Amino acid sequence: MKWYSWVILVVHVFAILIFTRGFLLTRTELPYYSHCSDVSQSPCFTSSNTNHSWNTPAVDRLVIIVLDAIRFLISVIIYLLHLFDFVAPSVFFQEKKAWMDKLSVLQKMAFSEGSSAKIFKAIADPPTTSLQRLKGLTTGGLPTFIDVGNSFGAPAIAEDNFIHQLVENGKRVMMMGDDTWIQLFPHHFNKSHPYPSFNVKDLHTVDNGCIEHLFPALYQEDWDVLIAHFLGVDHAGHIFGVDSMPMIEKLEQYNLMLEKVIKVLESQSEPGGLHENTLLLVMGDHGQTLNGDHGGGSAEEVETSIFAMSFKKPPTSIPSELDTSSCKLDLDGKKKCTSSIQQLDFAVTVSALLGIPFPFGS
């Protein structure tokens, strides 16, 4: 072998080494957990904190509806410009696609006067696959691309996380839908109704199972946090793409389901009612491209949405320093506003709302 062959071989070895050490990062899971007693070590601690964990709970019950692979576009595209879908000379869309504006109930509630609802653009971190996004959402940490190999047989999460803190602090958690939750949290749910998630040709089994258990659960008192994870949009995207009739039908099904959920919660939100102080979160774990792909870091894949709705009367105004809304005029000249948040902040934010310790690594 000639000398230049050795040079080429060494260069290739170094290139592979740099790639594996740079792109295929690994992460260390800290073996530490947050506890209620940790708050006493804070310089902000006062005697008034002793009745609760880290802060006073703002909500009593939480309903989390995960719509897998919901693009931010699908939630608000008819109102606001999104630069990644159309190349247009103005800031408003003159052409409307059939799959746009299908989650109209979220838009209606978020943009109504006096509403306690708001739509956020939630920015995820790659890899944008469901298992890694659920790990990021619940731990507040950054999964790595090498974790994608665990998607077909995920080990239980060993580090501190939002679900663990719920259970440790006496919250009863009910789960239904995507069985990835059971893989990650095998012993955490008081009640669970998991459905297999990897048959992408099946658009209905998981969603119909969620709907079957969701509405009866909304009338029950045996849970504090309810998680329903729908998969139909993700599967429709993989098989048919975004601009397809199965996708449109799924979005219309979701819109009808969400209308009923909001109606049920509102009907029991009177003083002393079961949902007087319930928070509803409708969110995606990641987005998807027009071809239905996800996993990478493109804008279409990392941008999803979170819809938050409280059934309490909203405050008269938000302090300007806390208002991060971005507003534009729609085609009718009405001002529509949304805010952006990092998906990594989900675990800390929801923990604070429920008055439980934040996951240690968040």
**227 in a structural domain:** yes
**23 in a structural domain:** no
**16 in a structural domain:** no
Q: How far apart are CA 203 and CA 219, in angstroms?
A: 27
Q: Count Cβ atoms below 10 Å from residue 24 Cβ, excluding itself.
A: 12
Residue tagged 């045996």 (tokens): 222
| pLDDT value for 148 | 53
| pLDDT value for 145 | 57
Half-sphere exposure of 82 (CA within 13 A, CB side): 20
| pLDDT value for 90 | 31
Query: Which residues, 6 or more positions from 30, have their beta carbon under 8 angstroms from its beta carbon?
Result: 159, 160, 360, 361
Burial of 232 (C-beta count, 10 Å sphere; 0-12/13-18/19+): buried
| pLDDT value for 91 | 35
The one-letter amino acid code at 117 reads: A
Tens of pLDDT, residue by residue over 17-62, are 777 666 666 667 778 899 888 876 766 666 555 555 778 899 999 9
**18 in a structural domain:** no
Measured between alpha carbons, how far is residue 73 from residues 122, 281, 324 in Å?
A: 12, 18, 19
- The closest of 358, 291, 343, 345 to 121, measured between CA atoms, is 343
**361 in a structural domain:** no
List, in sequence order, every residue forming a beta bridge with 118; answer none if it has no partner. Answer: 308
| pLDDT value for 26 | 64
| pLDDT value for 83 | 32
**4 in a structural domain:** no
The total domain count for the chain is 1
List, in sequence order, every residue forming a beta bridge with 229; answer none if it has no partner. Answer: 66, 177
**24 in a structural domain:** no
Query: Which residues, 6 or more positions from 87, have their beta carbon under 8 angstroms from its beta carbon?
Result: none
Q: Domain range spanning residue 237?
A: 29-354
Query: Which residues, 6 or more positions from 88, have their beta carbon under 8 angstroms from its beta carbon?
Result: 81, 94
Per the structure block, which two tokens stand in for 165? 């803190």
Contact in structure between 269 and 278 (CB atoms under 8 Å):
yes
HEC profile for the chain?
A: CCHHHHHHHHHHHHHHHHHHHHCCCCCCCCCCCCCHHHHHHCCCCCHHHHHCCCCCCCCCEEEEEEECCCCHHHHHCCCCCCCCCCCCCCCCCCCCCCCCCCCHHHHHHHCCCCCCEEEEEEECCCCCCHHHHHHHHHHCCCCCHHHHHHCCCCCCCCCCCHHHHHHHCCCCEEEEEECHHHHHCCCCCCEEEEECCCCCCCCCHHHHHHHHHHHHHCCCCCCCEEEEEECHHHHHHHHHCCCCHHHHHHHHHHHHHHHHHHHHHHHCCCCCCCCCCEEEEEECCCCCCCCCCCCCCCHHHHEEEEEEEECCCCCCCCCHHHCCCEEEECCCCCEEEEEEEEHHHHHHHHHHHHCCCCCCCC
The one-letter amino acid code at 107 reads: Q
Q: What is the pTM assigned to this prediction?
A: 0.85
| pLDDT value for 128 | 87
Q: Please list the ranges in the chain whose pLDDT falls under 50.
A: 77-93, 321
Tens of pLDDT, residue by residue over 267-307, are 999 999 999 999 999 999 998 888 889 888 888 899 888 99
- The closest of 193, 190, 217, 225 to 206, measured between CA atoms, is 193
Q: State the CATH number of the domain containing residue 153.
A: 3.40.720.10
Contact in structure between 279 and 307 (CB atoms under 8 Å):
no
For Cα atoms 219, 133, 143, give the angle at the middle one, nearest 5 degrees.
Answer: 140
**236 in a structural domain:** yes
